[in-house]
């Protein structure tokens, strides 16, 4: 996360040297974000187009692997690539501010764009004053990919060359990079200026990703701007007066120039050393150990996504959970270990609709309940952060007790078995699950399912030319589908943790559930805004909507007919829709006129009988419009407050 201004202040002290023959450890999250920024330099400058222009996960992973291959081709030995598996409570304040910023970015995008444009054939590139290409404004104004880091980790794990180098650690990646280099020597490659003030040992050094220069011919070598804390402190005679951490503190607190900060560090060392604010500064920027090196959970962490790893570490009765509450610093009150929390990524969604994470909440609650039931001292509640508009955001969820965990497991297993049986095309089964969750949740909330409307629209316009725009409904459904699949991914990984730590608690249905979840698609294969309409059209034509409706007990005839959208695309489609609406209106007028003439000819007794028949028919239709699954089968009913009190 870094000390503000430290990178710029220390850049002149870096030494450009060839990297050939060097051994490096890599700050994984920093590398992924650097590659994302580099790859998105050629994206469109329209905010709404940026939603569909984001580089695909698969392409981003390939970019990262290509960059690593380039290092190896230049005789650079990569010893490890570390990824965060737990962010400490003291980082909560910074994390909260970033969550608020991302939430507001997404809300502004939804406010300011009524339709979402598809990417242009020749995207506009923005150019900085120095001639370099920069990420387009539209891309910068949106949250990054929701699953950016786990998608790249997944692809690295599938690479025979790089899978052994990847490690998800029970702490911050930069701290483990520093410990590695201090112990074994080498260079840390990062974008985090905290590494400047870490103790890297006498020979350790830091190279920023932005300071790496690739060769352009066989005569040139790959070089990097290498910074050595030891060399800097010796050159500026700081070894006996706090060193670089003291200088960084002066830069951060007093907003001085580098020359002034060095002088302040030398002259006021004894006085500054005793200040509480300096001790807080050191604690905030120095590494900590949260889990004993021999704890059995460590063997499973590298197979988990960072967010899931963090939740597992919080949930288990290990040191970080049993430690004393975190002190309050001048920067605010960070989340203490006693607050069990899950930080979900910000989805690119329509903010006027219910959060795209809502539909898959029951799956995540099953996962939370599973990991809690595997250890003594279970907790009854936790906080889930989906978006955050204020400093006190977060949704409190009830963690289901063991007997409800078993029922939820049986219900989910029955759903997956039914979809596997009735959906013949394997590729459609997971989109069917997302549609099932949307429709099931909509029934419970008495709302119109967004999926049924989109599927019917997609089938209707499947043969027409690709429209120029995409509706926000499509964008939101993609977010829902991705959230559903990622919630299943969370469940899959937590089941693996339970199987490792408490295999005796894994029941038969849980084992079957693991088998079903073993076929989950990779993150790179999740539905996208660019592809989902074609997928929904094929799904609808294959009878997928009928299968899901039948499974939920919803007659097809009570599903709402999709309105003619204003973003379907070509003029020909709009003209066809307009003509269709006109004919429907004429037919309706004709039917109304005939009905009036019929009523005029009826006797009072006949009119009364007609009214009674009409009212009976209306009651039957209303019953069909509000089908409800039995309480024991509906996960939302299972997890409602009323159900929990029974």
Binning pLDDT at 50, 70 and 90, where does residue 470 land?
confident
Which residue would you say has higher pLDDT here, 631 or 260?
260
Residues 345 and 199 in one domain: no
Least confident segment among 135-149, 247-261, 473-487? 135-149
Residues 200 and 308 in one domain: no
Instruction: Report whether pLDDT(324) > 70.
Output: no
pLDDT at 118 (0 to 100): 57
Mean pLDDT, to the nearest integer, of 324-336? 41
CA distance 325 to 315: 16
Element holding 453 (H helix, E strand): helix 450-460
Mean pLDDT, to the nearest integer, of 165-181? 93
CA distance 222 to 18: 6
Among 189, 218, 236, residue at a domain's last position: 236
Evaluate whether 489 touches 307 at the Cβ level (below 8 Å): no
> Does residue 636 sit within a domain?
no
Evaluate whether 396 touches 385 at the Cβ level (below 8 Å): no
Task: List the strands of the sheet with 15-18, edge to edge.
Answer: 15-18, 223-227, 205-213, 187-190, 23-27, 77-84, 166-169
Helix or strand or coil: residue 383? Answer: strand
> Does residue 31 sit within a domain?
yes
Instruction: Report whether pLDDT(205) > 50.
Output: yes
Which residue would you say has higher pLDDT here, 620 or 436?
436
For 260-291, what is each residue's pLDDT tens digit? Answer: 888 888 887 777 777 888 888 887 766 666 77
CA distance 177 to 209: 15
Binning pLDDT at 50, 70 and 90, where does residue 200 land?
very high
Instruction: Report whether pLDDT(8) > 80.
Output: yes
Residues 454 and 305 in one domain: yes
pLDDT at 221 (0 to 100): 80
Binning pLDDT at 50, 70 and 90, where does residue 138 land?
very low
pLDDT at 496 (0 to 100): 94
Q: What is the CATH number of the domain that holds 153?
A: 3.40.50.1010
DSSP 318: S
Mean pLDDT, to the nearest integer, of 127-143? 45
Q: Residue 186: which region, alpha, beta or left (left: phi > 0; alpha: psi -120 to 50)?
A: left
> Does residue 178 sit within a domain?
yes
CA distance 265 to 244: 9
Evaluate whether 435 touches 545 at the Cβ level (below 8 Å): yes
Q: With pLDDT > 70 as the criterion, what percentage of the chain qualifies?
A: 70
Task: Tell the residue number behind the tokens 């997609």, with chain if given.
Answer: 458
Least confident segment among 65-79, 233-247, 542-556, 604-618? 604-618
Evaluate whether 251 touches 258 at the Cβ level (below 8 Å): yes
φ, ψ for residue 348, nearest 5 deg? -85, 100
Name the token pair of 217: 């011919």
CA distance 361 to 350: 18
Instruction: Report whether pLDDT(132) > 50.
Output: no
The strand pair at 341-343 and 126-127 is best described as unpaired
What is the CB neighbour count within 10 angstroms for residue 246?
A: 25
Instruction: Report whether pLDDT(338) > 70.
Output: no
Mean pLDDT, to the nearest integer, of 551-557? 81
CA distance 187 to 177: 9
Helix or strand or coil: residue 600? Answer: helix
Residues 352 and 221 in one domain: no
Range of the domain at 351: 296-321+335-558
For 340-391, what is each residue's pLDDT tens digit? Answer: 888 898 888 888 889 999 999 999 999 999 988 766 667 888 888 887 665 5
Sequence-distant (6+) residues with CB within 8 A of 252 are: 3, 4, 5, 6, 281
Q: Which of 624, 589, 637 is nearest to 444 (CA)?
A: 637
Q: Which of 523, 534, 536, 537 is nearest to 56 (CA)?
A: 523
Binning pLDDT at 50, 70 and 90, where does residue 393 land?
low
Average pLDDT of every residue of the chain: 78
Name the token pair of 521: 């698609």
Residues 226 and 312 in one domain: no
Instruction: Report whether pLDDT(419) > 60.
Output: yes
For 491-543, what is each residue's pLDDT tens digit? Answer: 999 999 999 888 998 999 999 999 999 999 999 999 998 889 999 999 999 99
Q: Provide the whole-model pTM.
A: 0.81
Residues 355 and 437 in one domain: yes
- The angle subtended at Cα 534 by Cα 529 and Cα 540, nearest 5°, is 120
> Does residue 610 sit within a domain?
no
φ, ψ for residue 39, nearest 5 deg? -70, -30
What is the CB neighbour count within 10 angstroms for residue 324?
A: 8
Among 526, 558, 590, residue at a domain's last position: 558
Q: Which of 356, 337, 340 is nearest to 348 (CA)?
A: 356
> Does residue 364 sit within a domain?
yes
Which residue would you say has higher pLDDT here, 357 or 639?
357
Sequence-distant (6+) residues with CB within 8 A of 275 are: none
Quote helix, strand, coil % in the chain, to nearest 5. 55, 10, 35
Terminal C-alpha separation, the chain: 47
Residues 393 and 479 in one domain: yes
Residues 306 and 195 in one domain: no
Domain count, the chain: 2
pLDDT at 308 (0 to 100): 95
Cα torsion angle, 427, 430, 431, 436, sign: positive
Least confident segment among 70-79, 169-178, 468-477, 585-594? 585-594
Residues 498 and 383 in one domain: yes
Sequence-distant (6+) residues with CB within 8 A of 249 are: 242, 265, 272, 278, 281
Greatest alpha-carbon span in the chain: 109
pLDDT at 113 (0 to 100): 54
CA distance 484 to 438: 9
Least confident segment among 100-109, 183-192, 487-496? 100-109
Residues 303 and 218 in one domain: no
Residues 150 and 56 in one domain: yes
Q: Which of 275, 189, 192 is nearest to 224 (CA)?
A: 189
CA distance 355 to 479: 9
Which residue would you say has higher pLDDT here, 266 or 441?
441
pLDDT at 121 (0 to 100): 38
Name the token pair of 350: 């329509």
Instruction: Report whether pLDDT(19) > 80.
Output: yes
Rg (CA), the chain: 29
CA distance 326 to 336: 5
Q: With pLDDT > 90 as the criterion, what percentage of the chain qualifies?
A: 40
Reported in sequence order, the residue ranges of 361-445 that DSSP labels E, i.e. its strands, are 381-385, 395-398
Among 526, 543, 558, residue at a domain's last position: 558
pLDDT at 116 (0 to 100): 58
Residues 408 and 538 in one domain: yes
> Does residue 581 sit within a domain?
no
Least confident segment among 46-50, 88-92, 146-150? 46-50
> Does residue 635 sit within a domain?
no
CA distance 31 to 212: 12
> Does residue 571 sit within a domain?
no
Task: Tell the residue number behind the tokens 């709404």, with chain if given.
Answer: 48
Which residue would you say has higher pLDDT here, 143 or 232?
232
Cα torsion angle, 279, 281, 284, 285, sign: negative
Binning pLDDT at 50, 70 and 90, where does residue 143 land?
low
Name the token pair of 263: 């002088």
Instruction: Report whether pLDDT(203) > 80.
Output: yes
CA distance 52 to 56: 10
């Amino acid at each position: 996360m870094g000390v503000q201004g430290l990178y710029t202040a220390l850049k002149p002290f870096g030494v450009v040297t060839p990297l050939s023959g060097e051994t490096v450890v890599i700050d994984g999250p920093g590398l992924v974000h650097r590659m994302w920024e580099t790859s998105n330099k050629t994206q469109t400058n329209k905010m709404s187009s940026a939603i569909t222009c984001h580089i695909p996960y698969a392409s981003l992973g390939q970019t990262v692997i290509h960059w690593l291959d380039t290092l190896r081709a230049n005789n650079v030995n990569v010893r490890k690539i570390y990824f965060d598996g737990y962010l400490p409570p003291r980082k909560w304040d910074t994390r909260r501010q970033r969550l608020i910023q991302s939430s507001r970015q997404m809300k502004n995008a939804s406010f300011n764009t009524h339709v979402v444009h598809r990417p242009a054939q020749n995207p506009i590139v923005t150019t900085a004053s120095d001639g370099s290409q920069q990420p387009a404004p539209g891309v910068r104004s949106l949250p990054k990919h929701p699953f950016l880091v786990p998608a790249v980790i997944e692809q690295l794990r599938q690479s025979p060359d790089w899978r052994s180098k990847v490690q998800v650690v029970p702490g911050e990646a930069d701290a483990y990079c520093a410990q590695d280099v201090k112990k074994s020597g080498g260079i840390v490659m990062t974008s985090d200026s905290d590494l400047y003030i870490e103790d890297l040992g006498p020979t350790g050094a830091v190279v920023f990703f932005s300071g790496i220069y690739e060769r352009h011919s066989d005569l040139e070598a790959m070089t990097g701007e290498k910074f050595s804390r030891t060399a800097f402190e010796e050159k500026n005679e700081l070894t006996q007066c706090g060193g670089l951490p003291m200088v960084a503190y002066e830069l951060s607190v007093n907003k001085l120039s580098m020359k002034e900060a060095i002088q302040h560090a030398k002259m006021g060392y004894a006085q500054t050393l005793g200040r509480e604010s300096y001790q807080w500064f050191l604690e905030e920027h120095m590494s900590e150990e949260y889990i004993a090196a021999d704890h059995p959970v460590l063997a499973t962490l590298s197979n988990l996504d960072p967010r899931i790893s963090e939740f597992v570490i919080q949930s288990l009765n290990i040191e970080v959970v049993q430690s004393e509450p975190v002190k309050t610093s001048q920067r605010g009150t960070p989340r203490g270990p006693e607050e069990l929390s899950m930080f979900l990524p910000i989805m690119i969604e329509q903010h006027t609709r219910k959060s795209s994470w809502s539909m898959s909440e029951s799956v995540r609650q099953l996962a939370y309940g599973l990991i809690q039931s595997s250890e003594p001292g279970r907790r009854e509640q936790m906080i889930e952060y989906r978006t955050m508009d204020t400093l006190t955001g977060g949704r409190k969820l009830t963690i289901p007790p063991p007997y409800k965990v078993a029922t939820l497991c049986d219900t989910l297993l029955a759903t997956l078995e039914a979809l596997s049986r009735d959906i013949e095309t394997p590729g459609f089964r997971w989109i069917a699950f997302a549609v099932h969750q949307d429709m099931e949740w909509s029934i419970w909330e008495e709302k119109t399912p967004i999926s049924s409307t989109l599927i019917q629209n997609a089938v209707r316009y499947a043969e027409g030319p690709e429209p120029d725009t995409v509706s926000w409904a499509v964008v939101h459904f993609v977010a829902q589908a991705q959230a559903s699949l990622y919630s299943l991914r969370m469940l899959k990984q937590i089941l693996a943790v339970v199987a490792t730590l408490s295999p005796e608690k894994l029941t038969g249905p849980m084992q079957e559930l693991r088998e079903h979840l073993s076929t989950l698609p990779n993150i790179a294969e999740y539905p996208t805004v660019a592809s989902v309409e074609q997928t929904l059209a094929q799904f609808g034509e294959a009878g997928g909507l009928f299968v899901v409706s039948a499974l939920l007990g919803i007659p097809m005839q009570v599903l709402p007919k999709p309105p003619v959208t204003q973003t379907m695309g070509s003029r020909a489609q709009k003209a066809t829709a307009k003509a269709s609406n006109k004919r429907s209106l004429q037919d309706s007028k004709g039917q109304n006129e005939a009905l009036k003439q019929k009523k005029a000819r009826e006797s009072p007794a006949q009119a009364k009988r007609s009214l009674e028949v009409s009212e009976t028919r209306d009651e039957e239709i209303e019953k069909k419009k509000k089908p409800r699954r039995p309480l024991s089968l509906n996960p939302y009913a299972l997890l409602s407050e009323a159900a929990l009190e029974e």
